[in-house]
Structure 1
Amino acid sequence: MPTTSSPAAYAIAILLCLLLSPATAEIKNVKITADARPMILLEKFGFTHSGHVTIAVSSVSITSSLSRPDPSHLGFFLLSEDSLIQVIIELQQTPNFCVLESKYINLLFTFRDLSPPPHSSFNNSYPVTSPNEYNLFFANCAPESQATMEVRTDVYNLDDGGVRDYLSAGLTQLPTLFSVFSLTYFIFLGIWIYICLTNKRSVHRIHLLMALLVLIKALNLMFAAEDKHYVKVTGTPHGWDILFYIFQFIRVVLLFTVIVLIGTGWSFLKPFLQEREKKVLMIVIPLQVLANLASVVIGETGPFIKDWVTWNQIFLLVDIICCCAIIFPIVWSIRSLRETSKTDGKAARNLAKLTLFRQFYIVVIGYLYFTRIVVFALRTIAAYKYQWVSSAAEEIASLAFYTIMFYMFSPVDKNEYFVLDEEEEQEAEMALRDEEFEL
């Protein structure tokens, strides 16, 4: 298809890709087929002073509806985060500007270096001695032309011992980080099992499901640590990414399910779900299947595919819908408890339940806000060397959420659900009447 978009549109597309694309690193093999895009983002990587980029292109074919394209108008370059705005300004202000001519880029090579063009191959390595986060682009400034080729990229840093580290400078701490949190959750699981065994009479099915959730979370982090470790050392995940995606899917679906079931009071307040509560699960679970499919596409391909931004938008939209959906059962339970408190004569118990569900509502809202908004902000504004901080913040928030949720709904004999003291009963009745009056 012809390249008819404006430079401003290209600049916006580039900026959107860079905002959505995390710093990655692996040995990647990319196949580009009849692609007319003027710029294709291949990698985003944080380099130390001993960084290297190795690019191998083969099976190169350039087709054009016009005259034979100038090979110097096609090539690969690095663009630092510091120079991004200047390049975008150039694209917007200068008609027919070719980014390969910009003074703000680090040009690696053009197709003029292929011998003989346009059907050839190329393989070379380039040192990166200025520490920064760079974006590796392929640019096609030849009008009405399409590029077909196979590209292999090796992007890495060398540590003090001269060993290759295929993780970005800001992500090299992730294997250790995930291992520590995985161990923490296994300890968490042991404590939870002990609590359940010492309070067998108060254990319900939801508590067993919560135990399964902690186990899946621990395994998910363990496989994430292995995945990142093998990428760091070898440049490929050696199949650990498959286990990571499987357990990530199970963990996310199970987490949303547990929140919905706790919000409805299933198993410890009532033995069954109402029809509307079943519908929430029927909506959330298929949407999470779609969200995880989008997550796999995003993680395993990269911004070079044409629909990469679309998959990101699908993931974000589905995640927002699911986050909103799981709030409704908690709100329904709060309303139901408020109505029940007027008729069943058990004010203290109902007030305790009502207070607990309100607290749970606040905790869930806080958790969703932090992990969706604050973590994204940290990932966006943090310096490239500290990108691991956003992952650490997300895991700390998750651990805090699990701890609070499990404490609030733990299987203990003197749970707030079973408060029946007479004095508290009278005080609760007054509190509920005051609340009804205020409403």
Structure 2
Amino acid sequence: MSPPTLSLLFFLFLFLLLLPLSLAEIKTLKITSDSRPMILFEKFGFTHTGHVSVAVSSVSVTSTSNLSPPDPSRLGFFLLSEESLLQVLLEIQQNPSFCVLDSQYTTHLFTFRDLSPPPVSSFNQSYPITIPNEYSLFFANCNPQSSVSMTVTTLMYNLEFNGVKDYLPAGQTQLPTLYFFFSVLYCVFLAYWIAACVRNKKSVHRIHLLMVGLLVIKAVNLICAAEDKHYVKVTGSPHGWDVLFYLFQFLRVVLLFTVIVLVGTGWSFLKPFLQEKEKKVLMIVIPLQVLANIASIVIGETGPFIKDWVTWNQVFLLVDIICCCAIIFPIVWSIRSLRETSKTDGKAARNLAKLTLFRQFYIVVIGYLYFTRIVVFALKTISAYKYQWVSNAAEEIASLVFYAIMFYMFRPVERNEYFALDDDEEEAAEMALRDEEFEL
């Protein structure tokens, strides 16, 4: 292999840590004139009853130099665990021309020498997994200056105790039940929220109706996720549920960020309008969420075999970070505005209560973003492959807690605790504000 293979394997190792277990539906992928020395196809958690099947057809290998024709034994498929990848990195570091197909740490499947003779040039074989682990399926091209075109069909599954095929990785087979359970919780949440709005009709604002829509979209999104995973689990294909999942995921994320921005500005709850800078935040967040969801779909549907997969991952992470930062600004602006207003309008207690409310909301939003972006990622990284569902459960629990706190803080009530204040509280609030101003 050429020297760049070492750096390629290093980056593959990093992205294997970032890559969630693939939804191992039966996939047919087309490779066209690809000269990469390593191509990552799938990542799957196998039990002791696991199987992997690889079928290739329409194979052609083209040399880009006038040297000897490509050696078919130097092109092939293999499985590699994350632990073994480190050993392979060391082997290539010691010998940059080393071919990964010769490594003792790889699970060899087949090379192009095993293909049927032209003009068919195809191969189809299933392999049992003898050692349970999380493996990545790779294709290696150890012929420098050559490119490969082929159609590849991959199929990975574990057999259940009754012999039924489970096409979800060992760490994700619990996801259909998990998502359905949380969809039921959100339906109960929705019913409770609607009842609260009906009981307090006079205190319902437009933001509360938008929050109803958010709960509806979230519940439907989880139902679609449960159905998507269920059909992949039993048939290897989502049967169109992935389209609905991505659609409602897009609507849910856009609506969630919009609600956070609107609540953070006090729209409808404290004021009936948005300032220009607040409108600009929404105009930035919504298009970025469109781009982020496009990146998410590309990552989820194509898999890591495409040449631009790393780029789409970077786009998704960058856009997500920008959106998370953008929704913080309106809350900070509201806190600053309330602090300034409290010094001049003579309603110290009411403004202090509002200030306290938005500070609490700021802390809750920061905690939610930190947990779902950092803690959940850490769980995905450190959890054993059989317990990858734990990170999904943690993310859904954090989301449910965040929704519950946000909805409780800004619930419709006739006698809002933040505005029903007596004279003693007013005086105490004035003193508190003076103390705060002195400290600042």
TM range (shorter): over 0.9
Measured after TM superposition, the shift of residue 344 of structure 1 is 0.6
Q: Provide the C-alpha distance between the structure 1 equivalents of 2:118 and 2:311, rounded to a whole number of angstroms.
A: 34
SS of 2:28's equivalent in the other structure is strand
Q: Provide the C-alpha distance between the structure 2 equivalents of 1:354 and 1:416, rounded to a whole number of angstroms.
A: 13
Equivalence for 1:57: 56
Aligned amino acid, residue 312 of structure 1: N
Aligned amino acid, residue 181 of structure 1: F
Are 2:320 and 1:322 equivalent residues in the alignment?
no
Aligned amino acid, residue 337 of structure 2: S
Aligned amino acid, residue 348 of structure 2: A
SS of 1:416's equivalent in the other structure is coil
SS of 1:297's equivalent in the other structure is helix
Are 2:98 and 1:97 equivalent residues in the alignment?
yes
State whether residues 180 and 222 of structure 2, in contact with CA within 8 Å, keep that contact through their aligned partners in structure 1.
Answer: yes
Are 2:13 and 1:20 equivalent residues in the alignment?
no
Q: Provide the C-alpha distance between the structure 2 equivalents of 1:366 and 1:416, rounded to a whole number of angstroms.
A: 24
Equivalence for 1:356: 357
Measured after TM superposition, the shift of residue 116 of structure 1 is 1.8
Are 2:192 and 1:161 equivalent residues in the alignment?
no
Q: Provide the C-alpha distance between the structure 1 equivalents of 2:415 and 2:94, rounded to a whole number of angstroms.
A: 70
Aligned amino acid, residue 59 of structure 2: V
Report which stretch shifted further, 415-424 or 322-331: 415-424
Measured after TM superposition, the shift of residue 56 of structure 1 is 0.6
Equivalence for 2:344: 343
Q: How does 1:234-383 map to 2 (within 5 A)?
A: 234-383=235-384
Q: Deviations over 1:19-48 (max 9, x none)?
A: 232111110101000000011011100000
SS of 2:53's equivalent in the other structure is strand
Q: Provide the C-alpha distance between the structure 1 equivalents of 2:200 and 2:150, rounded to a whole number of angstroms.
A: 64
Q: Provide the C-alpha distance between the structure 1 equivalents of 2:227 and 2:71, rounded to a whole number of angstroms.
A: 46
Aligned amino acid, residue 286 of structure 1: P
Q: Provide the C-alpha distance between the structure 1 equivalents of 2:259 and 2:284, rounded to a whole number of angstroms.
A: 15
Measured after TM superposition, the shift of residue 5 of structure 1 is 5.6
Q: How does 1:389-404 map to 2 (within 5 A)?
A: 389-404=390-405
Equivalence for 1:10: 8
Gaps of at least 5 residues in structure 2 are none
Q: Deviations over 1:227-264 (max 9, x none)?
A: 00000000000000000000000000000000000000
Aligned amino acid, residue 306 of structure 2: I
Q: Provide the C-alpha distance between the structure 2 equivalents of 1:218 and 1:93, rounded to a whole number of angstroms.
A: 53
Are 2:79 and 1:78 equivalent residues in the alignment?
yes
Are 2:148 and 1:147 equivalent residues in the alignment?
yes
Measured after TM superposition, the shift of residue 95 of structure 1 is 2.0
Equivalence for 2:202: 201
Q: Provide the C-alpha distance between the structure 2 equivalents of 1:403 and 1:98, rounded to a whole number of angstroms.
A: 54
Q: Provide the C-alpha distance between the structure 2 equivalents of 1:193 and 1:404, rounded to a whole number of angstroms.
A: 16
Q: Deviations over 1:179-201 (max 9, x none)?
A: 00000000000000000000111
Q: Deviations over 1:306-365 (max 9, x none)?
A: 000100000000000000000000000000000000111101100100000000000000
Equivalence for 2:410: 409
Q: Provide the C-alpha distance between the structure 2 equivalents of 1:402 and 1:48, rounded to a whole number of angstroms.
A: 36
State whether residues 111 and 117 of structure 1, in contact with CA within 8 Å, keep that contact through their aligned partners in structure 2.
Answer: no
Q: Provide the C-alpha distance between the structure 2 equivalents of 1:149 and 1:196, rounded to a whole number of angstroms.
A: 58
Equivalence for 1:48: 47
SS of 2:272's equivalent in the other structure is coil
State whether residues 59 and 121 of structure 2, in contact with CA within 8 Å, keep that contact through their aligned partners in structure 1.
Answer: yes
State whether residues 71 and 117 of structure 1, in contact with CA within 8 Å, keep that contact through their aligned partners in structure 2.
Answer: no
Q: Provide the C-alpha distance between the structure 1 equivalents of 2:432 and 2:92, rounded to a whole number of angstroms.
A: 65
Q: Provide the C-alpha distance between the structure 2 equivalents of 1:44 and 1:55, rounded to a whole number of angstroms.
A: 14
Are 2:46 and 1:37 equivalent residues in the alignment?
no
Report which stretch shifted further, 108-117 or 128-137: 108-117
Aligned amino acid, residue 257 of structure 1: T
RMSD of aligned Cα (Å): 1.1
Aligned amino acid, residue 16 of structure 1: L
Gaps of at least 5 residues in structure 1 are none
Which 4+ runs in 1 deviate beyond 3 A? none
Q: Provide the C-alpha distance between the structure 1 equivalents of 2:119 and 2:157, rounded to a whole number of angstroms.
A: 29
With the length of structure 2 as denominator, give the TM-score of the two structures. Answer: 0.98
With the length of structure 1 as denominator, give the TM-score of the two structures. Answer: 0.98
State whether residues 349 and 416 of structure 1, in contact with CA within 8 Å, keep that contact through their aligned partners in structure 2.
Answer: no
Q: Provide the C-alpha distance between the structure 1 equivalents of 2:119 and 2:404, rounded to a whole number of angstroms.
A: 60
State whether residues 46 and 133 of structure 2, in contact with CA within 8 Å, keep that contact through their aligned partners in structure 1.
Answer: yes
Q: Provide the C-alpha distance between the structure 2 equivalents of 1:117 and 1:425, rounded to a whole number of angstroms.
A: 89
Aligned amino acid, residue 429 of structure 2: A
Measured after TM superposition, the shift of residue 426 of structure 1 is 0.4
Q: How many residues align?
A: 437
Measured after TM superposition, the shift of residue 118 of structure 1 is 8.4
Measured after TM superposition, the shift of residue 117 of structure 1 is 5.9
Q: Provide the C-alpha distance between the structure 2 equivalents of 1:17 and 1:351, rounded to a whole number of angstroms.
A: 47
SS of 2:62's equivalent in the other structure is strand
Q: Provide the C-alpha distance between the structure 2 equivalents of 1:146 and 1:8, rounded to a whole number of angstroms.
A: 19
State whether residues 38 and 140 of structure 2, in contact with CA within 8 Å, keep that contact through their aligned partners in structure 1.
Answer: yes
State whether residues 256 and 284 of structure 1, in contact with CA within 8 Å, keep that contact through their aligned partners in structure 2.
Answer: yes
State whether residues 353 and 416 of structure 1, in contact with CA within 8 Å, keep that contact through their aligned partners in structure 2.
Answer: no
Equivalence for 1:121: 122
Q: Provide the C-alpha distance between the structure 2 equivalents of 1:288 and 1:302, rounded to a whole number of angstroms.
A: 20
Measured after TM superposition, the shift of residue 168 of structure 1 is 0.1
Q: Provide the C-alpha distance between the structure 2 equivalents of 1:351 and 1:223, rounded to a whole number of angstroms.
A: 43
Equivalence for 1:111: 112
Q: Provide the C-alpha distance between the structure 2 equivalents of 1:7 and 1:299, rounded to a whole number of angstroms.
A: 26
